[in-house]
Chain A
Amino acid sequence: GENVEQHPSTLSVQEGDSAVIKCTYSDSASNYFPWYKQELGKGPQLIIDIRSNVGEKKDQRIAVTLNKTAKHFSLHITETQPEDSAVYFCAASNVILTGGGNKLTFGTGTQLKVEL
């Protein structure tokens, strides 16, 4: 099955700096890679996702890059703000294979702290 590794487990940055979280996956058939943000006491919320036919995707201060050859993808947050402090999870899935299923394989999470 799929295995997703995520690094770092904790990340502390100064407000206004950039933050980068990296994930690697093992199954070359995976073709969908979402990123979730989880605030304290809440459920995860999708912030951005990318499919394997795209190398990069941006949404305001957030971007995700995908390297299919190396089987890794990264989340980039620019101009970080205190409200970006949360746990971030990457995930991978084979959309064609799972079809109607929800078989996302998650990374172990990164605790991001944005300091004033």
Chain B
Amino acid sequence: NAGVTQTPKFQVLKTGQSMTLQCAQDMNHEYMSWYRQDPGMGLRLIHYSVGAGITDQGEVPNGYNVSRSTTEDFPLRLLSAAPSQTSVYFCASRRQGAQTQYFGPGTRLLVL
């Protein structure tokens, strides 16, 4: 199993550009989440999904959209990037009934 994979590893955007951060897991986990990690602030939940077709907002959802059309994939979309979205983004997944979350390697995003 590859576990949780994320692409790209690093991305530079200009303010106002859009992009999609990809996340995939091959563990057949029902639950998937997106976090952002900023210096001195730990990890903050952006959006999460409890299964295909079901998504909900986390702590910091503004400026981000998600969809979950399959169990495996959970892309995060930035519609109009802003410098405040410069961060490291982590995708995570876990099995229903379990609490252990498995994190991907992260995507480092720089918005100029």
**Residues of chain A whose beta carbon lies under 8 Å from any beta carbon of chain B:** 1, 4, 6, 9, 32, 34, 36, 41-46, 49, 89, 93, 95, 100-109
* Contact residues in A for B2 (Cβ distance below 8 Å): none
With A32-B99, A42-B105, A43-B90: A107-B45 Cβ-Cβ less than 8 Å:
no
Cβ–Cβ contact B106 & A101, under 8 A: no
* Contact residues in A for B48 (Cβ distance below 8 Å): 101-103
Cβ–Cβ contact A43 & B99, under 8 A: no
Which 5 pairs of residues, A with B, have the shortest CB-CB distance? Answer: A43-B103, A100-B50, A106-B42, A102-B33, A106-B43
* Contact residues in B for A107 (Cβ distance below 8 Å): 42
* Contact residues in A for B101 (Cβ distance below 8 Å): 34, 46, 102, 104
Cβ–Cβ contact B41 & A43, under 8 A: no
* Contact residues in A for B44 (Cβ distance below 8 Å): 106
Interface centre among B4, B32, B90 (most CB of A within 10 A): B90
Q: Choose one: B32, B33, B99, B103; the contact of A45 (CB below 8 Å).
A: B103
Cβ–Cβ contact A100 & B106, under 8 A: no
How far is it, in angstroms, between the C-alpha of A32 and the C-alpha of B100 when the chains are bound?
11
Cβ–Cβ contact B58 & A103, under 8 A: yes
How far is it, in angstroms, between the C-alpha of A32 and the C-alpha of B44 when the chains are bound?
17
* Contact residues in B for A108 (Cβ distance below 8 Å): 40-42
